[in-house]
Structure 1
Amino acid sequence: MKTELKIKSLLFGLSLVTVGYANAQTTTEIQTPTTTQSQAVNPQIDALKQKIATNPQDTQSLVALATEYQNAQDYTSAIATWNQVTTIIPDWAPAYYSIGYANQSAKNNEGAKAAYDQYIAKVKPEEVEANKQNLAYAYFFIAFVDKDTNPEKAKQYIAKSLQYDSTNQDALNLSKSLMN
């Protein structure tokens, strides 16, 4: 008898939950504001796109837009936007690093490797000190990608990586494995 009462109470509770769920799914007045907010396009991205539409050469807004795309994990749009930046400022190294990062995040290692190579080439001698960490990582990533196909290049690049950051454990491990 007690078990039957517990089952009836459980079924009654489940029916209330089900009715509440069905009501929430069919009541548009209640559901609309929540749905609109959760499915809204990033307002920062929209505002930056509008700003760029009026001035396509606005590199500050382009950089901000590319960064917002990366934050939203829209790597395809981030790469396209960073490429717009490099068209306007072809010698600005950070854009190439960001293209490498976005490609790497999108699991496009070859695209990342090419971008990191461009980044390394674009860093001016007077900018090296400020870019040591990024240079160390760019060299490390290329060495890691090339370790099986071009071990000699990988050895050179991992040595450069360690020159910029001698404490990076991943780089130290890769260097050790390349020496064997």
Structure 2
Amino acid sequence: MKTESKIKSLLFGLSLLTVGYVNAQTTNETQTATTTQSSTANPQIDALKQKIAANPQDTQSLVALATAYQDAQDYTSAIATWNQITTIIPDWAPAYYSIGYANQAAKNNEGAKAAYDKYIAKVKPEEVEANKQNLAYAYFFIAFQEKDTDKEKAKQYIAKSLQYDSTNQDALNLSKSLMN
């Protein structure tokens, strides 16, 4: 099936990008945001845009472009590019995680929460083991966002987060605070 082959080829590319996404889990939110670089000053982005213009369905190049935008801290363009990927491959869970990551980096917590929720819903049972760390973080982020408005939902999500990563100290601390 055409979609399956696209997903398999993207999984390899995504595995190379995982190191960058793990950073979303450990980045201090108080760090000062750096100025967004213009894509016109980035030859890698320009080359990828030309490649995609020639073949708008080139998902590998789209993933590379979205990642390059993120590296350049152009989160608006990264989100738009990840959304293009979800249009081509609507069931590819890592794209939704990446949308969450980019929204979070752009300080759009509502957008991040919605994207992480979609990511959680899109992870197939046979993919859970390979996605445990990202699932743990997605559940943690949503629980953290819900802790003041929907304590019961936050409790459910933090329990799921700890199910996937029982050693995450931030998740353990949030779980304790929710029990009070």
| TM-score of the two chains, using structure 2 as the length reference | 0.78
Distance 1:44 1:135, change over 3 A: same
* 8 Å Cα contact 2:136/2:161 also seen in 1: yes
> Is 1:177 aligned to 2:177, yes or no?
yes
* 8 Å Cα contact 2:63/2:85 also seen in 1: yes
Among all aligned residue pairs of Structure 1 and Structure 2, give the percentage whose two residues are the same amino acid: 91
What is the alpha-carbon distance in structure 2 between the residues aligned to residue 40 and residue 90 of structure 1? 29
Q: How many residue pairs were aligned? A: 142
What is the alpha-carbon distance in structure 2 between the residues aligned to residue 167 and residue 57 of structure 1? 40
Structure with more of its chain in helix, by fraction: 1
> Is 1:50 aligned to 2:50, yes or no?
yes
Q: Which structure 2 segments of 5+ residues have no match?
A: 1-38
Deviation at 1:74, TM superposition (A): 0.3
What is the alpha-carbon distance in structure 1 between the residues aligned to residue 154 and residue 84 of structure 2? 30
What is the alpha-carbon distance in structure 1 between the residues aligned to residue 40 and residue 55 of structure 2? 25
Residue in structure 1 matched with residue 162 of structure 2 by the alignment: 162
Supply the RMSD in Å over aligned alpha carbons: 1.0
1:1-180 map, 5 Å: 41-180=41-180
Runs of 4+ in 1 over 6 A off after TM superposition: none
Letter of the structure 1 residue corresponding to residue 102 of structure 2:
A
Secondary structure at 1:67's aligned position in 2?
Answer: helix
Deviation at 1:40, TM superposition (A): 6.3
* 8 Å Cα contact 2:113/2:141 also seen in 1: yes
Deviation at 1:41, TM superposition (A): 1.1
What is the alpha-carbon distance in structure 2 between the residues aligned to residue 147 and residue 104 of structure 1? 17
Letter of the structure 1 residue corresponding to residue 48 of structure 2:
L
Secondary structure at 1:148's aligned position in 2?
Answer: coil
What is the alpha-carbon distance in structure 2 between the residues aligned to residue 52 and residue 79 of structure 1? 16
What is the alpha-carbon distance in structure 2 between the residues aligned to residue 135 and residue 40 of structure 1? 35
What is the alpha-carbon distance in structure 2 between the residues aligned to residue 150 and residue 72 of structure 1? 35
Higher relative contact order (CA 8 A, sep 6+): 2
Distance 1:40 1:82, change over 3 A: closer
Residue in structure 2 matched with residue 15 of structure 1 by the alignment: none
1:14-58 CA-to-partner distances (Å, cap 9, x unmatched) read: xxxxxxxxxxxxxxxxxxxxxxxxx96111100000000000000
1:68-90 CA-to-partner distances (Å, cap 9, x unmatched) read: 00000000000000000000000
What is the alpha-carbon distance in structure 1 between the residues aligned to residue 113 and residue 50 of structure 2? 32
Larger CA Rg, structure 1 vs 2 = 1
Secondary structure at 1:130's aligned position in 2?
Answer: helix
Letter of the structure 2 residue corresponding to residue 78 of structure 1:
A
What is the alpha-carbon distance in structure 2 between the residues aligned to residue 72 and residue 177 of structure 1? 36
